[in-house]
Structures are given as structure tokens and as C-alpha cells.
Structure 1
């Protein structure tokens, strides 16, 4: 008896269907030339799934397309610049506004993607749109880009999708990203200004030591004048720098690279640098207030979105911007997981001011923890603003004094021997 072999065809999975839809829905950017009903020449750029569909769409608009071809990729910078956190914050606000206005998610993503100047941002949004069209959720689509959409962001979006309040959650996320980026910008401003001025002062000093002082030294040598001790000190320093500048540069670059490498690879070293930074006058205060503000803002947003407190603390443990506070949040999470109150766990770390702990305690007792956390965040964000302004006012005269001492000292040292030249010539 012959055996008949039968072949069973398995039912395609949701993932296979999604991939098929994604391939079908993939769009390209075309450049077209044509004329309207009056014979006027027109040119444009549009995203479409094919040239034939684009030609039909243009015909529907009363445009006779004569040439349609894919937009060529630029030779350099085809991938575009890196997607910055500020761009994600702007996108979050835009998509939140569109969702609140009733614009469908796919259409909103398409509109935002076509309005992006950064090709990477545009391609990312188009890919997210394609995944959603293929059956994936917004949170799942965003998880493909963990650098731009971290775990906290995607968890909040997932909570909004599950509860059916995605538009409200997106609005909350947008406000959160804007506040966080604002406070990060304030901290960077506080640290960048003095660093930039000191770097410029260092460069000017090196130029004077390497190029200017040797010229003065040759003039003094021609007159045979005995140099004052103050001038001689700068001349000897100039000789040392001139002969050993290459070694000094190598040591400085090596030290910077070594510190950055250790900071990224060694948790103990990063912990040491972070703790030392918190002890710097004024700057340490800004870093502390910034970490508390980010802790309160992040925990308030996640808790308000319906995320359980223990899971919310998991998300917060990498969001404070400080290794010291990140480690403290992990300890708080462990204490809360075994049943301790949040205020008790925060007090044990000895990193949060008494006012913050008490406000959290009031919020827990009143059942309004998220509201109290937002008030804490607003207070400390304002404190960061005030501290940055105070730091700028304090550093401006201080930096001018340092530059005056360095540059002015060199000028005085070079002109001191001039008073002796008259005696030598006479």
C-alpha cells in the first residue's frame, strides 16, 4: 500500500503577519517634477510606498507628474546627527498634543516624521509607525530604541495603553521630559561656564609661555641685564614648558582618558568622584538639589501613571543623574519591598533633607504621594535655578581675578626688567 505524505501548513503567527505588513507598508521618499493645470512647473518631495501610488496621488491633486525618482541619499552624513534628548522631549509634547486632539497614532507619527530635520529621528519615527501598523503596541515599538526611549519611558507608555489613557500619560511624559531636560540644562550651564573660561585662560597662558616670553627673554639677553627673581621665575617656567610641552600634553590627555575610562568602568571610582563632587561648595549643592528634584519628579510621574511603588522605584534607580542617589534609591526599593514606608526608607539613606522626608510622609498618610512628590520637585527645581544664577554671579568676579593674576603676573614679570634697561644702556 502506498503511503501518501501529507504536508501541514502552520498558521502564520502574529509576528509573521506584523513583519509582512511592515514590509508592505515600508515607505520611501521621492522627489518629483510636474506641471499643474495652468502649465506651471512644480517640484516637490513626498513620502510614498511606490512611485505609481505617488503619481496617482499627485494626479488626484491636479498635478501631472513628469518625473518621479527616489530621493538620493547624501554622500556624507546620510545617517544624520545623533538624536538628542531635547528632540525626544519635543516629540513627546507633539505626539501628546496630537493624541489629545483626536489624531490617530499612525497618522500623527507620519506627520511628525515628515517634519523632522534630523534623518535619524525621521527614520526612527517611520519605523515605529510601521511597527504599529504591523500590529505592535507603541511601547513595544519604542523598546527597539532603548537609548532614546528608556525603560521608564516605555513603562509609562505601556501603563497608559493598558489603562486606556494613553493621551493623558503621554502628556504627563512630555511634561516630565521637558522638566528633566530643563534641569539638566541648568546643571550643565553651571558646570560648563567656569570650565570653558578656565580652559581659555589655560590656552592663553600656554601661548604666552611658549611664544611671547621667549621673545622677551632674547631682548633681555641682548642688553645683558640681570633679570629680577619674579621675571626669572616665569622665564624658567617658559623654558620648561617649551622643551617639555609634548610630554605635558601626553600626560594631560592620558590623565583625562584614564579618568573617563575608570569612571565608566569602575563603579567604585565613579562612586568616589560622585561623592567628592557633592562636597564641592555651591556645585555640590546644585548636584544634590538636582538629584532630589529628578528623584521626586520621576517617582511622582510613575506613581501617578499607576505603576506600583516598588516597580516605580526600579525605574527611578537610574534616573537621578547621580551614582550616589541611584545607589540610595536601590536601597530604598529594597526596604519598601519588605514592607517599610517610603519615608522611613528615605530617612535611612541620610541623603534626603528632613523637609523632603516629612513631605513624603504627609503624602503617604494623605494618599496623595504623587502630588507631594511633584511639589518637592518644583521646589528643588526652583532651588537649582536660584543656585545656578548665584553661582554665575559668584564665579564671574572670581574667574576674572584668576585670569588677572595669571595674565597680569606675566605682563608685570616681563615689564619689570624694562626699568633696569635704562641703567644698563647708560
Structure 2
């Protein structure tokens, strides 16, 4: 979008100079008029088009919410985008609004304009907006999009919160173990080995681990990131390994089941949204398959699509994959038979939302005692290995 250098007069006929981005001189006049200025002279400084990198999830929610509110109030799309450009809270949002404005003004639809920004608007968002434009129900589609994105943002925040405590606790445990092995145990090693009686096996094991930390500390530091990098590279190069890792993720104790519920909740919520806006079942499931983010779930959805395409009912197709519990399958069956599948899908999404909240609460309640026990076992082993030979020595001295 061009940047103009301008001279303008305010209400008191004083000359004001400045620079501002505008699509063309007419747009510049409109923007200055909103500022209470009258254009005197303008010249183009640069025509450089700045690429919009991305928006945060919260910025995207705010952007779509503002668009929905303006359009629901009856404001034309170009006017709405112009207002959003002029009042944008961030430079990225300003350039996005301006880019959409320019493309729509040149004759593109809103969905086609959004499709030019794949790093911001997903394929699902573009298809939903396109459906809303065709049906004339764009404000309602935007409202549902905002709701869905808010829900996904909240679930992501809850999941991060659930993972923060174990990550912090494991870091503390690691620091304590390293300190004990590299500073405390070496100072006790000479004393323990100087005892006349034999050193117990647990003490020898502790000394061996301490020596390992002292001699190969550099390898212990480098090993975890190297292993992670190796696994990631192998997964990228080998689809079979990638599929196996995605399978293992869903089997992680505590976290795997929560992650599976989050994926299925997002899937059903997106499917309900797309089906409710008039997108065909197979197309909707195809888009949901792409956004699931897990190869195991993607393969299952692919088989569901094949069954539905061959004439099997939606509920029976999902039941064959055993992705959902019996209660969810029953809800889908009722929705199909009553012709209210979109409502049934919304109920399924609500069901999973409650399940996710309960599962996260249970996981958080279990994580703390598990980590406490693990820390106690590690420190207990160290204390036992150090104190047991000392206690044996004192016992022999008494006898």
C-alpha cells in the first residue's frame, strides 16, 4: 500500500505535515477528513507492499469480532475494513485490513481475499466465510467463527497451564539431582570408601552415577537435545516413524487421553460449524481431517469419509472406527434420524468440552502427588545410599 507525504490544513487553517498509508489519493482525503484535516498537497513516498506475517490467536479473534460487529450493524464490508484499518491496534492488523480492502475493492470476494493470507486465515476459515457469503449469512458465520476460535484459545491455555507445573517440577528435580551428584556425593565418596567394611551395592551405584556425571557432564547435557533433534529428523524423513510417534502421543498416561479429547472436540466443533453453514458432509470432514493435527486421527477420518461416500451412515462410519464413546454415537444417530445433525454435533462438542475440563482437572490433581513421590524416591535413594554404610559402621562400633 502506498505511503503518501501530505500537507493539510486543520480547522484553524494551520498547515500540518505528515506521512500516512492510503490506497490512493481519494482514500488519503477520506482518512484526513476523519482527522479533521483538509488535503492541500500530497505525493507518493513509496509503493512498497509490506507482507503481513501473521497475527496472534487473540489478534485474529479481535479482528474477526470487529468485522462481525460492524457487518451485523449493517456497515458495508469496505467501510468496515477501512474503519478497522484506521483504528487497528497493531501494524500487522492495519496492513491486513488494508490488504483485504484493496483486494475487495478490485473485485475479489472476502473469502478470496482472505485466501491470499494462508498464514493468517486457515482453509476452514476461508471456506466458512465463502459459504457465509453465498448464503448471505456472513455475520452469523463470523460470530460462530469467533466463538470457535475463543474456545480453542481457552483450551490451549488450559493445556499449557496443565503442562507448566510438571515441566517446572521436573526442572527442579533435575537441578537437585545434578547438584547432589556433582557436589554433595563426591565430597562423601572418599569418606564412604575409607570405611573398613564393604560398601553396599546401593552406595556403589550412587558413586558410579556421581562419577558418570563428573566425567561425562557434557554428554549428559548434549544428549537430550540431540535425541530430540534426531527423532524429529527421523519423523520428518520417515512417514512410518511419524505415524508411530503420533500413535504414542495418544497413549501417554494422563496427557494422551486429554489430547485425544481435545482433538475430537475440535473436530466435532469444526464439523458442526461447517455443516451448519451448508458445506457438504464429505467436504466438511475433509477439512476437519486436515486440521486434526494427528496422523492416527487423520487416517481414521479418512476411512470414515470412504464409508460415508460408499453409502454408510455418518454414525455407523464413526462407530466402526471406535473414535467416540457409545453416548456420542447415539447422539449422532438421533441427529441423523431427526434431521438435526448440526444440533447433535454441537451437543457432541459440548459433551467433549465438559470432558476436557474434567480430564484436565483430574490430571492436574494427579500430577502433583506423582511428582512428589518421584522426587521423594530419588532423594530417598540418595540418602539411603549415603547413610546406610554410616549406620552399619556405627552399629559395628557399638558391638
State if a TM-score over 0.5 links the two structures. yes
Q: CA deviation at 1:261?
A: 2.5
Match of 1:348 among 316, 320, 326: 320
In structure 1, distance between residues paired with 2:31 and 2:88: 25
Does 1:381 find its partner at 2:356? no
Q: Paired residue for 1:276?
A: 248
Question: Residues 422 and 354 of structure 1: is their aligned pair in 2 closer, same or farther, counting only changes over 3 Å?
Answer: closer
8 Å CA contact 1:180, 1:294 repeated in 2: yes
Question: Residues 362 and 113 of structure 1: is their aligned pair in 2 closer, same or farther, counting only changes over 3 Å?
Answer: same
Give per-residue Cα distances to partners, 1:195-231, cap 9 Å, x unaligned: 342233223322432344334547x48x955695444
Aligned partner of residue 317 in structure 1, secondary structure: helix
Q: Paired residue for 2:218?
A: 246
Question: Residues 57 and 113 of structure 1: is their aligned pair in 2 closer, same or farther, counting only changes over 3 Å?
Answer: closer
> How many residues get paired?
390
Is there any run of 5+ residues in structure 1 with no aligned partner, and where?
Answer: 1-25, 72-77
Q: CA deviation at 1:287?
A: 2.0
In structure 1, distance between residues paired with 2:123 and 2:30: 42
Which sits farther off after the overlay, 404-413 or 354-363? 404-413
Q: Paired residue for 1:285?
A: 257
Q: Paired residue for 2:233?
A: 261
Question: Within 5 A, what are the aligned runs for 1:67-86?
Answer: 83-86=55-58
In structure 2, distance between residues paired with 1:353 and 1:154: 31
Question: Residues 234 and 56 of structure 1: is their aligned pair in 2 closer, same or farther, counting only changes over 3 Å?
Answer: closer
Question: Residues 409 and 49 of structure 1: is their aligned pair in 2 closer, same or farther, counting only changes over 3 Å?
Answer: same
Q: Paired residue for 1:339?
A: 311
Q: CA deviation at 1:148?
A: 2.0
Question: Within 5 A, what are the aligned runs for 1:135-174?
Answer: 135-174=107-146
Does 1:366 find its partner at 2:338? yes
Match of 1:100 among 60, 65, 72: 72
Match of 1:200 among 157, 168, 172: 172
Question: Residues 369 and 273 of structure 1: is their aligned pair in 2 closer, same or farther, counting only changes over 3 Å?
Answer: same
8 Å CA contact 1:30, 1:69 repeated in 2: yes
Match of 1:185 among 157, 162, 165: 157
Aligned partner of residue 290 in structure 2, secondary structure: coil
Q: Paired residue for 2:289?
A: 317
In structure 2, distance between residues paired with 1:394 and 1:354: 27
Q: Paired residue for 2:32?
A: 57
Which sits farther off after the overlay, 185-194 or 330-339? 185-194
8 Å CA contact 1:81, 1:118 repeated in 2: no
Question: Residues 325 and 30 of structure 1: is their aligned pair in 2 closer, same or farther, counting only changes over 3 Å?
Answer: farther
Q: CA deviation at 1:311?
A: 1.0
8 Å CA contact 1:286, 1:387 repeated in 2: yes
Is there any run of 5+ residues in structure 2 with no aligned partner, and where?
Answer: none
Q: Paired residue for 1:131?
A: 103
TM-score, length-normalised on structure 1? 0.77
Q: CA deviation at 1:399?
A: 1.0
Which sits farther off after the overlay, 85-94 or 313-322? 85-94
Q: Paired residue for 2:377?
A: 405
In structure 1, distance between residues paired with 2:334 and 2:324: 15
Q: CA deviation at 1:131?
A: 1.2
Question: Residues 338 and 81 of structure 1: is their aligned pair in 2 closer, same or farther, counting only changes over 3 Å?
Answer: closer
TM-score, length-normalised on structure 2? 0.82
8 Å CA contact 1:143, 1:154 repeated in 2: yes
8 Å CA contact 1:225, 1:420 repeated in 2: no
Does 1:28 find its partner at 2:15? no
CA RMSD of aligned residues (A): 4.0
In structure 1, distance between residues paired with 2:45 and 2:390: 72
Q: CA deviation at 1:378?
A: 0.6
In structure 2, distance between residues paired with 1:303 and 1:56: 40
Question: Residues 45 and 182 of structure 1: is their aligned pair in 2 closer, same or farther, counting only changes over 3 Å?
Answer: farther
Question: Residues 32 and 357 of structure 1: is their aligned pair in 2 closer, same or farther, counting only changes over 3 Å?
Answer: farther
